[in-house]
Structure 1
């Protein structure tokens, strides 16, 4: 749905480490890194870009699509291992729809990071 998302972080190195570890189960890696920040992607087309800022960044809710419920669970474990804080363990969220399986973690800057699978259980 989006081409890229750009947002500020208070500690670029810490955020890079968090997002790389947390999103590794989705195949996300660094595409480019330089004076304008860090660009992450899994397909080289859609990217997540972050840059160092002294401003207090507004909190974001970023939701990433997973291919399976196992990817959601792997994200959750990896994100907690990377220093994220639990904001909703993997599970169904039927108030969204019957197959909405998601997990939520708060990033080092307080951003709500979600990974969701919309597919029924295999």
Structure 2
């Protein structure tokens, strides 16, 4: 059900060092990193290699809202979750779309829950098998 969790850090370098060192015994490692104008965003993975814990710069004032992504069984389910959130009056952050910067089959929609947390419904379309001649 939980696909990934994102935390904001006042000092991203310190957070990266902390998580890398403290959770090394459970197989946590840096799997992805990309730069933003506010600093690096780092995705940590366990033994399966799928980034599930993300640390990013504190970018939304002095509060640290959580980012929670729940995995959906299909793109249609993402669309349905988004429609229900919008109908419930949730603040829309991003309408459903493909996010190729994450990976080619990443389809997600983002909105705020009643407490201001960044909530996402996401579906990972598996890559197509290679064409054989």
TM norm structure 1:
0.51
Shift of 1:99: 0.3
SS at match of 1:101: strand
Shift of 1:119: 1.3
* Residue 76 (1) aligns with residue 66 (2): no
Which structure has more relative contact order (CA 8 Å, sep 6+)? It is 1
TM norm structure 2:
0.47
Match of 1:29 in 2: none
- Structure 2 distance, partners of 1:119, 1:101, is 8
* Residue 99 (1) aligns with residue 99 (2): no
Point out the structure with max Rg over C-alpha: 2
Spell out, residue by residue over 1:19-47, the C-alpha distance to the aligned partner (whole angstroms, 9 max, x if none): xxxxxxxxxxxxxxxxxxxxxxxxxxxxx
Shift of 1:68: 0.3
The CA RMSD measured in Å over matched residues stands at 2.4
- The number of equivalent residue pairs is 68
SS at match of 1:115: strand
Q: Runs ≥4 in structure 1, deviation > 2 angstroms?
A: none
Spell out, residue by residue over 1:49-87, the C-alpha distance to the aligned partner (whole angstroms, 9 max, x if none): xxxxxxxx8411010001100000000000011121100
- Structure 2 distance, partners of 1:120, 1:76, is 21
